[in-house]
Amino acid sequence: MTGRGRFTAPALLAAAALLAYGGPRIASLGFYHDDWWFLNVMRFAPAGFAPRLAALLQDTPILHFRPLDAPLAAALYGAFGLEPLGWQAASLAANLACALAAWRILGSFGAGPRTAVLGALLALVYPNKDAAAFWPTTVIIPASYALFLAGYLAHLDWVTSGRRASLAAASLCLLCSLGVYEQSLLQVAAWAITPEPPGARRGRLAAGLAAAAATAVLFLAYKFLIVPRLWGVSFNKPVILSLSNFLVVSLRALESSFGWRLASSVGAAVAAAFREQPVTAVMAAALPWVVWTLCPEGEPAAAGRAGRLALLGGALFVLGYLPFTVSDYRPTPLTHMNRINMVPAGGLALAAAAAALGGRRRLWQAVGAGAGSLFLAAHVGFAGYWAESWRLQSRARDIVVHRLAQWPADP
């Protein structure tokens, strides 16, 4: 986009992100019960960033494996303390950053303004990953993925322009992404896919991929060599090398992205949204059609770009789930475990947007607007579920505090 349209798309995506957090209901969102352990550690640590950081690392040494997690948590606690609204706002910002990066990637592949915004909207609100939005300490997942996508954009700029600063930025963003959350480690292979065939830029593409691979190897060396030797912390995740585990995770990944449980949960969430927050739900359902109205269709993409974008999205989807084929994690569209769907869902949204780069663009744009309308309304319902969880936690805490004098005098 150029001119005023350059600000229209981010504004529309920001509005979508706020609605995805329930609009005004964001003020009713709180912590998830697993957050309380880390909050407890920081609450009773000496005041200040460094003491809280040291307390987290001492209490949970495995945080050394993701060296930016503890600093991020300590910084967020320093900024917001035990007030959940600030944490939720930080999570919203991280998820919005992922959507804005997806918008820019779609534009680089030749998507028109309407397709780029709708595709980014789908990445924001695909409904199989609500834990990555509403669980405050899981902000690490969208934060990591935003850094990964920023690295890919810098990589594209390096391949196109040859600016060494972009090559350095790509490596730095990737290193920071892995330092926060390592799910995108294998997705680096997808950086081989660019909007144009390499041609004369093949050397730059190879150099960019080599730098990314070196960055990934550096992180692996830190994780498996430096951490055990320097801090004596052993890798605590099981590694399962079996065909049956690979097939189970693969099938669960497909079921989590397209299955009947996902469809059922979306329908129930939409119904809850219109029943409990009808004004917000109507605004959410209408916003994708506002995108349709305000964003022009754009010119057709250059030949071959739709196929390359679909390949990029498909690669990000597969490579995002691949690490779990050797782990005991299982993809699911529901529960707090659906946080691991966020990274592959970003690729899925890019692949879906590729359909609108070829023929019958208006038809596919309408399909995208309809899906975005349904999914954004569902997020209003999801926000209601998490708000109710926080209400029950707060009620239980109030009962405990009220009866604290009757509590046994025991540490």
For the cut 90, the answer to whether the pLDDT of residue 121 exceeds it is: yes
Reported as a pLDDT band with limits 50, 70 and 90, residue 299 is: confident
State the Cα angle at 19 between 142 and 314, rounded to 5°: 45
Q: What is the pLDDT of residue 45?
A: 97
Least-confidence region, from 58-62, 228-232, 291-295, 399-403: 399-403
For the cut 50, the answer to whether the pLDDT of residue 83 exceeds it is: yes
Per the listing, tokens 């769907």 go with: 341
Q: What is the pLDDT of residue 4?
A: 56
Tokens of 226: 């430096």
For the cut 90, the answer to whether the pLDDT of residue 113 exceeds it is: yes
Name the strand (E) or helix (H) holding 281. Answer: helix 278-294
Tokens of 257: 């992205």
Q: Reduce the DSSP state of residue 39 to 3 states and report it.
A: helix
Reported as a pLDDT band with limits 50, 70 and 90, residue 288 is: very high
Rounded to a whole number of angstroms, the CA Rg of the chain reads: 22
Neighbours of 402 (CB within 10 A): 9
For the cut 60, the answer to whether the pLDDT of residue 2 exceeds it is: no
Reported as a pLDDT band with limits 50, 70 and 90, residue 405 is: confident
* Predicted TM-score (pTM) of this structure: 0.95
For the cut 50, the answer to whether the pLDDT of residue 108 exceeds it is: yes
How far apart are the C-alpha atoms of 92 and 18, rounded to whole Å? 7
Least-confidence region, from 94-103, 178-187, 402-411: 402-411
Q: What is the pLDDT of residue 358?
A: 81
Residue-wise pLDDT for 387-397, tens only, equals 999 999 999 99
Least-confidence region, from 26-30, 211-215, 235-239, 267-271: 235-239
Tokens of 14: 């920001």
How far apart are the C-alpha atoms of 83 and 255, rounded to whole Å? 36
Identify residue 41 by its one-letter amino acid code: V
How far apart are the C-alpha atoms of 74 and 68, rounded to whole Å? 10
Reported as a pLDDT band with limits 50, 70 and 90, residue 191 is: very high
Q: What is the pLDDT of residue 411?
A: 55
How far apart are the C-alpha atoms of 119 and 185, rounded to whole Å? 23
Residue-wise pLDDT for 140-172, tens only, equals 999 999 999 999 999 999 999 999 999 999 999
Instruction: Please report the DSSP string for 220-266 in residue order.
Output: HHIIIIIHHHHH-PPP-S-----HHHHHHHHHHHHHHHHSHHHHHHH
Name the strand (E) or helix (H) holding 311. Answer: helix 305-321
Q: What is the pLDDT of residue 66?
A: 96
Q: Are 376 and 19 a contacting pair, CB within 8 Å?
A: yes
How far apart are the C-alpha atoms of 190 and 216, rounded to whole Å? 13
Least-confidence region, from 93-102, 124-133, 259-268, 358-367: 358-367
Mean pLDDT of 375-402: 95
Least-confidence region, from 58-62, 71-75, 287-291, 355-359: 355-359
State the Cα angle at 260 between 256 and 264, rounded to 5°: 105
Identify residue 55 by its one-letter amino acid code: A
For the cut 90, the answer to whether the pLDDT of residue 235 exceeds it is: no
Reported as a pLDDT band with limits 50, 70 and 90, residue 1 is: very low
Mean of per-residue pLDDT scores for the chain: 95
